[in-house]
Amino acid sequence: MEKFLAFIQKTYPIPANKAAEIVSCFEERTYKKGDYFLKKGAISNEYMFLLEGMLRGFVTDTEHNEVTTSFYTANNVVFEVSSFFSRIPSVENIQCITPCTGLVIRFDVLNKLFHELPEFREFGRALLVKGYTMLKKRMLESVTLSAEERYLELLDNNPEIFRNAPLKMVASYLGITDTSLSRIRKELAQK
């Protein structure tokens, strides 16, 4: 798949024949809206490059509220780091919020590739570092920016999220209630 090859090259350049070998180990899969890619309590066994659609990661807090931890958009990888790499039960759920198509690989196959192809291993590390970096950035913004600024930033950088996710999911991702987010929008509209 073109998209996946382009993604690999953008993340960590790899010789074309090696990249093709990698991609051939993935298999295409489709999901319906509402399907779970990963359920809390399960050990994540799949790693996906998302071709189309959108998913959300979420946990349930002590008051039984669903708190969105991440949105996964097309042309990015979808997996839960801790459960997948440390082989422990996931605390997070990952669910399709639209119909999805992706290229999937199992843990053992991915690991085999990591061992055989140093370039792919470096690609994996680069991705891990990138994810880590983005999470740090988000964490930082959650304390240095106001809710309104965080909303505007998300709207700027990931407008597609607002087309597919209900307000409540976006609000909990931003760390506020849907009521507050609705008010923030209202105030912005009046400017």
The residue ranges that bind a copy of itself (CB under 8 A) are 59, 61-62, 67, 69, 81-82, 85-86, 115, 118, 121, 125-126, 128-133, 135-136, 138-140, 142-144, 172, 175
Stretch of 19-27, 46-54, 80-88, 181-189 lying at the interface with DNA (CB under 7 A): 181-189
> Which residues, numbered 107-146, are part of the site for DNA (CB under 7 A)?
146
Q: Which of 166, 173, 188, 191 binds DNA (CB under 7 A)?
A: 166
Cα atoms in the 13 Å half-sphere on the side-chain side of 107: 13
**With CB cut-offs between 5 and 8 Å by kind, which of a copy of itself, DNA, none does residue 1 bind?**
none
**With CB cut-offs between 5 and 8 Å by kind, which of DNA, a copy of itself, none does residue 179 bind?**
DNA
Nearest to 44 by CA among 86, 95, 72: 86
d(CA 75, CA 149) in angstroms, rounded, equals 26
**Measured from the CB of residue 146, what is the shortest distance to DNA in angstroms?**
5
Q: Is the dihedral of CA 61, 66, 67, 72 positive or negative?
A: positive
Nearest to 7 by CA among 47, 46, 49: 49
Q: Cβ–Cβ contacts within 10 Å for residue 108, how many?
A: 9
DSSP state of 86: H
**Measured from the CB of residue 67, what is the shortest distance to a copy of itself in angstroms?**
6
181 binds DNA (CB under 7 A): yes
Q: Cβ–Cβ contacts within 10 Å for residue 75, how many?
A: 13
Contact set with DNA (CB under 7 A): 146-148, 166-168, 175-186
